């Protein structure tokens, strides 16, 4: 019997593990994990430990707060449990999970943590973590994603990253990187902290920069509220504005075809590929920000971003053998350009800002998806501006030179808009054009001279915007061979190759989390010391001592 697919669509009245409440300009996100509410059978979520299901609800809440609650300027993450904040990822769940599920779980959790930081930095929604007990492993990593960490000074409340001494793995959701890059903890202090299972508490935790404030337990609730109120009062978010509702994304699955608003995905199991058919807008954009608000989730850029985001998460977790995503589009490039112009003109609107930031996060999710990405720029396509970013994210792109015999579709063109020159940076801090032309930054500046021009295959090739421009005689064979070639190669090797090539240029905390740390966690998760019959993950809680292969490799 096939497993029930993991569904990332949820809403607050369906939450099993989080409670969302509001007091003025402050939202309180309270963790109260249902022990019996695991995503899969075989483990209990004791001590506020979490699995992917807990994180799906958290990700939904973080997204919902940005769009539905413009009045919220501060978010407090806290625990409902007495003397326990969060004990991290559930160990029994990790021990029972397949390797690909563990890594995809870590990746999604990383993306959720980054979304919290993005909300703090760009949306005026600062996150505060109020710790009333033990914050271990992923529990402390959640705290690290927040702007401030408050710790009860009661002699027992503590923070720890015990993965190495207890489980023979690493803090897989950015713990090590945030420790030294974000909180700037000294290396020697971090070394001691990460090899001490019980962690640190009180004065030393504050002095070593592991937390920001120590608060007597009797005053923790009151002081947390006071700090949150002060931060919310200084937020630039529009306190009198009304949010827009985020109903579940519409999705239907019929065999190997998945349908969303403005997106259809066709799965080819023989080729181990999925073809994304992205539909451009059919109507002119609304007049202004007020009209955008009136359309809500039906506004084409927002509707498509939600569809694309859910589709990527669905394919990542439920279609792990579909290793190549073929990216196509159909529509009027001039209409896409008009929507981009509206986004640029109304950039001061809080809602437009959130839509653009959502597209930034969605494109970043595409960048770090462990899939081969091939873009096809065909007659009738609309890879313009925001949609052109999807083609620029691809590992390679093919653009037809001319038209197909017997077709009445217009020749393929590309269009650059202002959205290609800043609003959608990659994890390395550069635009996709800046990353593509790292060897010649002046070329990126020169490309602004071509804003709005309908570039045919010859022009796009001359400007370096596509990889190959076959004619209709060679098109079918070249595309087929590219997809077949990808299906014939080692998925592990391709993941490593693609991840190394996609992020040229400067290293940031974000690229470290997804590249260096994720790569090591990927490797360590497969080593016998962690996952073998006598590995630490398998024996955790049994009282038996792990037997390590002592060779340093």
Same domain, 225 and 328: no
Same domain, 208 and 314: no
Does 530 map to a domain? no
Final residue in a domain of this structure, among 475, 501, 527: 501
How far is residue 107's CA from residue 104's CA, in Å, rounded to a whole number? Answer: 5
Instruction: Express each pLDDT in 32-57 by its tens digit.
Output: 999 999 999 999 999 999 999 999 99
Which of 381-390, 475-484, 494-503, 518-527 comes out lowest in average pLDDT?
A: 518-527
- The pLDDT value given to residue 503: 87
Q: Which range has highest mean pLDDT (87-96, 185-194, 533-542)?
A: 185-194
Q: What is the SS3 assignment for 149?
A: strand
Place of tokens 């037809």: 400
Task: Pull the structure tokens for residue 368.
Answer: 């770090």
- The pLDDT value given to residue 500: 87
Return all residues near 405 (Cβ < 8 A) that are at least 6 apart: 472
Residue 469 near residue 461 (C-beta atoms within 8 A)? yes
Does 416 map to a domain? yes
Final residue in a domain of this structure, among 501, 519, 537: 501
**Pairwise pLDDT comparison (538 vs 146), residue with the higher score:** 146
How much is the mean pLDDT over the chain? 95
Which of 154-158, 416-420, 511-515, 519-523 comes out lowest in average pLDDT?
A: 519-523
Return all residues near 48 (Cβ < 8 A) that are at least 6 apart: 31, 32, 33, 79, 81, 84, 85, 86, 87, 139
- The 3-class SS string of 358-416 reads HHHHHHHHHHHCCCEEEEEECCCCCCECHHHHHHHCCCEEEECCCCCCCCCCCCCCEEE
Task: Pull the structure tokens for residue 209.
Answer: 């920069």
Task: Pull the structure tokens for residue 447.
Answer: 């490309």
CA–CA distance from 131 to each of 54, 128, 138, 183, 484 (Å)?
Answer: 18, 10, 13, 17, 51
For strand 158-160 and strand 213-215, is the pairing parallel, antiparallel, or unpaired? unpaired
For 411-433, what is the mean pLDDT?
97
Does 527 map to a domain? no
CATH code at 359?
3.90.226.10
For 377-390, what is the mean pLDDT?
98
For strand 257-260 and strand 263-268, is the pairing parallel, antiparallel, or unpaired? antiparallel
For strand 26-31 and strand 74-79, is the pairing parallel, antiparallel, or unpaired? parallel
Same domain, 327 and 442: yes
- The pLDDT value given to residue 516: 74
Q: What is the SS3 assignment for 350?
A: helix
Same domain, 295 and 425: yes
Residue 399 near residue 414 (C-beta atoms within 8 A)? yes
Whether residue 1 has pLDDT greater than 70? no
Same domain, 215 and 337: no
- The pLDDT value given to residue 524: 86
For 9-19, what is the mean pLDDT?
97
How far is residue 89's CA from residue 114's CA, in Å, rounded to a whole number? Answer: 17
Does 508 map to a domain? no
Give residue 3's pLDDT band: very low, low, confident or very high (50, 70, 90): confident
pTM for the full model? 0.96
Does 511 map to a domain? no
Structural domain span for residue 27: 13-234
For 442-461, what is the mean pLDDT?
97
For 209-229, what is the mean pLDDT?
98
- CA angle at residue 265 from 261 to 269, to 5 degrees? 160
Same domain, 407 and 479: yes
The DSSP string of 192-253 is HHHT-TT-EEHHHHHHTTS-SEEE-GGGHHHHHHHHHHHHHHH--S-TT------PPPP-EE
Same domain, 40 and 110: yes
Whether residue 172 has pLDDT greater than 70? yes
Q: What is the maximum alpha-carbon separation in the chain?
A: 78
Instruction: Express each pLDDT in 140-160 by its tens digit.
Output: 999 999 999 999 999 999 999
Same domain, 193 and 279: no
Whether residue 219 has pLDDT greater than 60? yes
Does 506 map to a domain? no
Same domain, 203 and 351: no
Same domain, 190 and 280: no
How far is residue 88's CA from residue 70's CA, in Å, rounded to a whole number? Answer: 30
Domain count for the chain, please give it: 2
- The pLDDT value given to residue 519: 75
Half-sphere exposure of 316 (CA within 13 A, CB side): 23
Final residue in a domain of this structure, among 234, 262, 296: 234
Give residue 2's pLDDT band: very low, low, confident or very high (50, 70, 90): low
Task: Give the strand order in the sheet containing 324-330.
Answer: 252-254, 257-260, 263-268, 273-279, 324-330, 372-377, 396-399
Phi and psi, residue 43, nearest 5°: -155, 155
Does 513 map to a domain? no
505 sits in the region (left: phi over 0; alpha: psi -120 to 50; else beta) called left
Same domain, 380 and 475: yes
For 483-507, what is the mean pLDDT?
92
Same domain, 155 and 33: yes
Does 241 map to a domain? no
For 509-521, what is the mean pLDDT?
82
- The pLDDT value given to residue 538: 85
How far is residue 394's CA from residue 384's CA, in Å, rounded to a whole number? Answer: 15
For 309-315, what is the mean pLDDT?
98
């Amino acid at each position: 019997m096939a497993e029930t697919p993991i569904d990332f669509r949820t809403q607050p009245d369906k939450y099993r593990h989080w409670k969302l409440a509001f007091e003025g300009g402050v939202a309180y996100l309270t963790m109260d994990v249902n022990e019996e509410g695991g995503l899969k059978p075989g483990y209990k979520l004791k001590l506020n430990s979490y699995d992917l299901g807990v994180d799906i609800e958290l990700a939904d809440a973080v997204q919902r707060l940005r769009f539905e609650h413009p009045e919220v300027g501060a978010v407090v993450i806290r625990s409902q449990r007495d003397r326990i904040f969060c004990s991290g990822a559930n160990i029994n769940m990790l021990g029972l999970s397949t390797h690909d599920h563990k890594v995809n779980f870590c990746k999604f959790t990383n993306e959720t943590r980054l979304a919290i930081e993005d909300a703090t930095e760009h949306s005026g929604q600062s996150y505060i973590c109020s710790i009333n007990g033990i914050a271990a492993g992923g529990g402390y990593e959640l705290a690290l994603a927040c702007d401030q960490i408050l710790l009860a000074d009661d002699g027992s409340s503590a923070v720890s990253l015990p993965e190495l001494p207890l489980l023979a793995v690493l803090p897989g959701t950015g713990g090590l990187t945030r420790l030294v890059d974000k909180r700037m903890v000294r290396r020697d202090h971090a070394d001691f902290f990460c090899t001490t299972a019980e962690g640190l508490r009180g004065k030393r935790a504050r002095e070593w920069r592991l937390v920001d404030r120590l608060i007597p337990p009797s005053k923790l609730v009151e002081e947390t509220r006071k700090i949150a109120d002060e931060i919310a009062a200084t937020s630039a978010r529009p306190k009198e504005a009304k949010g827009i509702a985020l109903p579940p994304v519409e999705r239907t699955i019929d065999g190997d075809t998945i349908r969303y608003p403005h997106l259809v995905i066709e799965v080819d199991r023989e080729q181990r590929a999925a073809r994304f058919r992205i539909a451009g807008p059919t109507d002119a954009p609304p007049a202004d920000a007020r009209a955008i608000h009136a359309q809500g989730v039906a506004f084409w850029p927002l509707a498509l971003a939600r569809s694309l985001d859910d589709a990527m998460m669905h394919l990542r977790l439920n279609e792990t053998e579909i290793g190549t995503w073929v990216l196509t589009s159909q529509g009027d490039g001039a209409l896409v350009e008009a929507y981009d112009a509206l986004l640029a003109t109304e950039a001061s609107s809080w809602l437009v800002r959130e839509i653009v930031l959502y597209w930034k996060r969605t494109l970043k999710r595409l960048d770090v998806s462990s899939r081969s990405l091939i873009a096809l720029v065909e007659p009738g396509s609309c890879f313009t501006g925001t949609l052109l970013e999807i083609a620029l994210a691809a590992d390679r792109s093919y653009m037809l030179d001319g038209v197909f015999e017997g077709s009445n579709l217009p020749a393929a063109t590309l269009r650059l808009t202002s959205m290609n020159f800043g609003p959608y940076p990659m994890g390395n801090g550069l635009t996709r054009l800046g990353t593509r032309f790292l060897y010649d930054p002046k070329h990126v500046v020169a490309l602004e001279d071509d804003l709005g021009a309908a570039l045919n295959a010859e022009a796009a090739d001359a400007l370096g915007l596509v990889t190959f421009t076959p004619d209709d005689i060679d098109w079918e064979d070249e595309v087929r061979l590219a997809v077949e070639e990808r299906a014939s190669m080692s998925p592990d090797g391709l993941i490593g190759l693609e991840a190394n090539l996609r992020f040229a240029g400067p290293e940031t905390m974000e690229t470290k989390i997804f590249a260096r740390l994720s790569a090591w966690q990927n490797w360590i998760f497969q080593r016998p010391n962690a996952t073998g019959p006598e590995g630490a993950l398998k024996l955790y809680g049994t009282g038996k001592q792990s037997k390590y292969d002592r060779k340093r490799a």
